[in-house]
Structure formats: C-alpha cells, structure tokens
Amino acid sequence: MLLSSIIKDLLIKQGIPHQRVHSAVPDNVDKAHASISLLKDSEGIVMAIYNNGHQLDLLTLKALVERPELRFMSLQELSETHNSIKELKLKPFSKSPSRKAGEFNIQLIINEPLSNKSTVLLVTDNPEERLQVDIWEMQIMIENALIGGIFSHTHHVQSNSTGKMKSNLLARLKNIDHLPVMPSISADLLKLQANPDATVDDMVKIISHDPALTAQILRYANSSLFAFSGQISNLHDAIFRVLGYETVLYMSFGGALGRAFKLPQTGRLSMHTFWKEATYRAALCQQLALRIPRESRPSTSIAYITGLLHNIGIVIMGNLFQSEFNWLNKMLTNRPEQALITTEQNLFTCSHTTIGQHLMLHWNMPEEISTVVGEHHTPNYTGKHEIYVWLTQLAGQVLKEHDLSDADEEIDQAELCRRLELNKENVKEAIAAIMEENTALDAIANTLCA
C-alpha cells in the first residue's frame, strides 16, 4: 500500500481536492482511470499520470522531459520518499525560492489523452479503491505540471513519438509545414496597402463583396466618436467624409482576418470575449492617439489596427492547438484571477504573443502590427514602433477598470501617459467617448463573432 500512501499524502500536502471511491461502482466504470508511476534521477522525482491498462513508454517519457537518466524507483526509495513527504513543510510540487538546491523536488507530467478529461480516477495499490480528482484542478494547483505527449501505449502498440515536448507550442509551430493562409480579402487589402497607386475605388470594390464588413464600417463611421453630423450610407462617404482611407483599409483588413478564425463560444477566451475586447481596445487606441500632441501623434489608423489585432496569437493558438487551448480556456475560466501570460508560460513554455508574432512575420504583416502583437505584454518596452505598444498597453489598462481587458497589473499607467504626452483628462475624455458608443461597438464585436 506504499504507492497509495504516497499519492494520498502528495494530494493532501498540495491541497488538491480528492476523494476515495470504489472502482466497481457502475458510475465509475466508464470514467477515465489513470495509473501513476514515480521515477527518479539526480534532478528529483517525476510523477507520471497515464491511461490505466497502458504500458508506460520510458524512452519516450525521458525524451519528453529531456531527462535521460530517469528510472523507476525502488521500494526503498519509495519508502524514503514517503517519509520525506510526511515531513515536508513546503508544498511538494512548489517551485518556492525557499527550497534549497538538492532538496525534495517533484514534477508532474500528464499523458496527453487524459488532458481532455475532467474527472479522473487514480489507480492505487488496492484494486477496489480509486482516488477521484479533477484533472483540471490538479493542473491548476501544480505550477510546474506539464501536458505531455503520448508516453504510454497498449501492450501491442509501440510509440512513434518524436521525443518533442507536446506542450512546447512554439517548437511545434515552427515544425508545421503549412501555416494558415491569410484570408483572400485580407491578402487583397494588404496588397492594396503596399500599392502607392491604389485608389479608393479599388478598396471599395474589395470591401463591398462582404456585406457584414460594409455594415461594420458604416456603423463605426456613424458613431459619435467622429462628431459627423450627417448620415453616412455608403463606403465612399465613410472614407472621404469621416474615417479616411487608411482607417477603413485597416478596419476591413482586421475584420476579414478575424472572422476567418473561430474560438469556443464559452469561457474566458471565448469568441465573444475576444472580439469585444479587441473592438473596444482598437477604438480606444485610436481615441488616445487623437489626443496626443500633433507633432508627436502617430497614425491613428495604425493605432486602431494594432489595438484590434494585439491578441491575434490567442486566435492562432485556438485554431492550431485546440486540445491545449481548450485546457487553457477551462483553467482561466475556473481561475479568473490567474494571469493569462503566466498560465501560458507554465503550460506551453511560450505565450500567445510569441505565437502571434511568429505568424505575423510569416505573413509579412506591417512591422507595427507584428511588434505590438509580440510586445504588448512587455513592461517598459522600448524600441521600434514603441508608441503603438504603449498605446495598446494604456488602452488595456484603462479598459481593465471596466472589465474589458486582460491587461497586466505591473504596467504603470502613469508612466505610459508620460511617454505618450497624455494627461489624466485626455484619458478620461477618450474612455468616456468609447463608453458612450458601447452600443455601436458591441454591434461591431458581434459582427466579428459571426
């Protein structure tokens, strides 16, 4: 019963909710059952959770965690480990800085097929007993847990793993032969942007093929944000009389790009949540830019598109890595106080900023967009196109006060205002203008969700 005691003590020490259940109860037969193996090397212990009835593939596991000396623990080592856990004052899976080098250290890795489950029954030494846990809860409460590749198989199937960590999304992204192709309308508009001889008629011809996009532009042009007293009823008027060529081009580009990719309908990273924040942040970036002194003012149309697409990496992650994204979405939904970037780094060793920037570069997007996509979570960023990064960050900070942003707490709003030559009154005016047009902005967000 040694293994059972170790597992129970680990769960208790880590504070992970669990309960003992009977394995033969009809309700439990069809649930996911998981075996646990404890392995060891000079770095510490690895606790591997994998499908019950499968054989653990030690060679693949070693490659996944890049620890070639891992081996199964002996009974004496298990006994010593059990004694260490009972005496342990820190949480066993914690990366606490107070833990000394060489002290008791344990890491969890979960077989990928189990990552889509919720309730999992952990097998113990007692054939009739299982320890029921919520695998999502377990993942949330163990900061250095990994979603592994497939490191177990049925006895008659051998693993074909390449030895790459499945949770390293950037490494997987770089190995994808065919990245998503830019939607045709977005590609046509990007060519237009690069063509000095392009005309308004050229752009209208492209946009008018998309009625939803046309409606979105007209709705924005008719909002009070631009203080136009008449009624705008066609794209030519929206361009010439209110928004301008570049703003309409970038609005159309971002809208067409966004609607080509889908996200889940529920959760903190849902389609609606994503596009609502993007729409509000884009509008606020533009309004803030308009209040920067004229001699320092950046392009307000670029400010809009960088605000709209700043989080595009989330959409890319959700479409290319659906299993991992669904895991992330559920974790963040269950733990709204958790920071998005920190959670991504713990799970995937990279974040949506890195993934998004990789695709922006692959698509040869304008540098301003690629920079903001990659750097909008970087505190104190300085460098090329820094003014657009600062605008996006300030807009995120302001919108966070209205529960419309995932902005980081550590980015100083006052310092951003100083860099942008804005004062508190400028910011108040900009956000007031945005919130007064919430009906129009919500309608635009809903169009992007369609």
131 and 198 co-located in one domain: no
The fraction of the chain above a pLDDT of 90, given in percent, is 31
pLDDT of residue 103: 62
Of the candidates 375, 376, 417, 385, the residue with the CA atom closest to the CA atom of residue 288: 417
pLDDT of residue 166: 43
Assigned domain for 173 exists: no
Are 221 and 232 a contacting pair, CB within 8 Å?
A: yes
296 and 240 co-located in one domain: yes
pLDDT of residue 390: 97
Range of the domain at 380: 184-449
Query: Which helix (DSSP H) or strand (DSSP E) does residue 42 occupy?
Result: none
pLDDT of residue 169: 77
Alpha carbon distance 80, 66 (integer Å): 25
Per the DSSP assignment, residues forming a β-bridge with 318 are none
Assigned domain for 174 exists: no
Domain end, chosen from 139, 167, 195, is at: 167
144 and 254 co-located in one domain: no
- pLDDT confidence tier of residue 144, bands split at 50, 70 and 90: low
- For residue 33, the number of C-alpha atoms closer than 13 Å in the C-beta half-sphere is 18
Query: Which helix (DSSP H) or strand (DSSP E) does residue 52 occupy?
Result: none
pLDDT of residue 95: 64
Assigned domain for 328 exists: yes
3 state DSSP class of 228: coil
Assigned domain for 325 exists: yes
- pLDDT confidence tier of residue 97, bands split at 50, 70 and 90: low
* CATH number of the structural domain spanning residue 88: 3.90.960.10
pLDDT of residue 75: 85
**Least confident range of 272-286, 338-352, 406-420:** 338-352
What is the distance in angstroms between the CA of the first residue and the CA of the last residue of the chain?
55
Assigned domain for 263 exists: yes
Domain end, chosen from 134, 167, 200, is at: 167
pLDDT of residue 159: 42
232 and 344 co-located in one domain: yes
**Least confident range of 68-77, 152-161, 246-255:** 152-161
Inform me whether the pLDDT recorded for 165 exceeds 60. no
Give residues with Cβ within 8 angstroms of 232, minimum separation 6.
Answer: 218, 221, 222, 238, 241, 242
3 state DSSP class of 66: coil
Instruction: Quickly tell me which residue has 């090397």 as its tokens.
Output: 41
Are 109 and 93 a contacting pair, CB within 8 Å?
A: no
pLDDT of residue 372: 97
φ, ψ (nearest 5 deg) of residue 345: -65, -40
Please give the average per-residue pLDDT across 25-31, as a whole number: 75
Instruction: Quickly tell me which residue has 């820094």 as its tokens.
Output: 386
Of the candidates 317, 371, 368, the residue with the CA atom closest to the CA atom of residue 343: 317
142 and 194 co-located in one domain: no
105 and 139 co-located in one domain: yes
Assigned domain for 108 exists: yes
Alpha carbon distance 296, 388 (integer Å): 12
57 and 159 co-located in one domain: yes
Assigned domain for 55 exists: yes
Of the candidates 321, 288, 305, 285, the residue with the CA atom closest to the CA atom of residue 368: 305
Q: Which comes out higher in pLDDT, residue 299 or 447?
A: 299
Domain end, chosen from 142, 167, 192, is at: 167
158 and 190 co-located in one domain: no
68 and 206 co-located in one domain: no
156 and 230 co-located in one domain: no
121 and 211 co-located in one domain: no
134 and 213 co-located in one domain: no
Measure Cα distances from 298 to 89, 265, 301, 443 in Å: 54, 35, 9, 27
- pLDDT confidence tier of residue 138, bands split at 50, 70 and 90: confident
Assigned domain for 176 exists: no
- pLDDT confidence tier of residue 181, bands split at 50, 70 and 90: confident
Are 9 and 17 a contacting pair, CB within 8 Å?
A: no
Q: What is the CA radius of gyration of the chain?
A: 26
Domain count for the chain? 2
* CATH number of the structural domain spanning residue 216: 1.10.3210.10
